[in-house]
């Protein structure tokens, strides 16, 4: 699978969603939600594998920032795109043992190839995930 993103961050059908869905009284709702005793006290087990994969993504992106001349916006977008792919993979591997899922996600990120094609930022993911 190959994903493309223009250097200026534009792509078909994508808008910057910042600020959307915010209400005038957003602080009131957030305060009432955070006071409930039924809040989850800590991370769930699947989150650990995904967080390990996120660390791997950050290392991968940091290694290509200078060689590809990534802007901060491009680097952020790249992390988000790769993390989205990892979350999809995690969903597909939900019935697998934790160790196997973690190893598959890390390998997937490490084997991804990030390159520029004209003004497009291209991520080639390994085909056998």
pTM strictly above 0.75? no
- 91 in a domain, yes or no? yes
- 3 in a domain, yes or no? no
The mean pLDDT values, 10 residues at a time, for the chain of 129 residues are 59 45 47 51 62 92 94 94 92 91 92 90 76
- 69 in a domain, yes or no? yes
Q: Residue 61: what pLDDT?
A: 95
* CA–CA–CA angle 89, 47, 129 (5° rounding): 15
- 78 in a domain, yes or no? yes
- 31 in a domain, yes or no? no
Q: Residue 40: what pLDDT?
A: 55
Number of folded domains that form the chain: 1
- 106 in a domain, yes or no? yes
- 112 in a domain, yes or no? yes
Q: Residue 119: what pLDDT?
A: 84
- 85 in a domain, yes or no? yes
- Give the range of the structural domain holding residue 90, as residue numbers without chain letter: 44-129
Q: Residue 64: what pLDDT?
A: 94
């Amino acid at each position: 699978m190959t994903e493309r993103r223009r250097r200026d961050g534009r792509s078909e059908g994508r808008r910057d969603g910042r600020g959307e869905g915010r209400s005038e009284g957003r602080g009131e709702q957030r305060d009432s939600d955070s006071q409930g005793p039924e809040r989850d006290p800590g991370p769930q087990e699947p989150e650990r594998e995904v967080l390990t994969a996120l660390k791997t993504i950050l290392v991968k992106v940091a290694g290509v920032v200078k060689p590809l001349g990534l802007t901060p916006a491009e680097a952020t977008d790249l992390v988000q795109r790769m993390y989205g792919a990892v979350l999809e993979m995690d969903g597909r591997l939900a019935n697998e043992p934790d160790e196997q899922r973690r190893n598959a996600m890390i390998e997937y990120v490490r084997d991804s190839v990030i390159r520029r094609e004209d003004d497009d930022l291209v991520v080639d993911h390994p085909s056998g995930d």
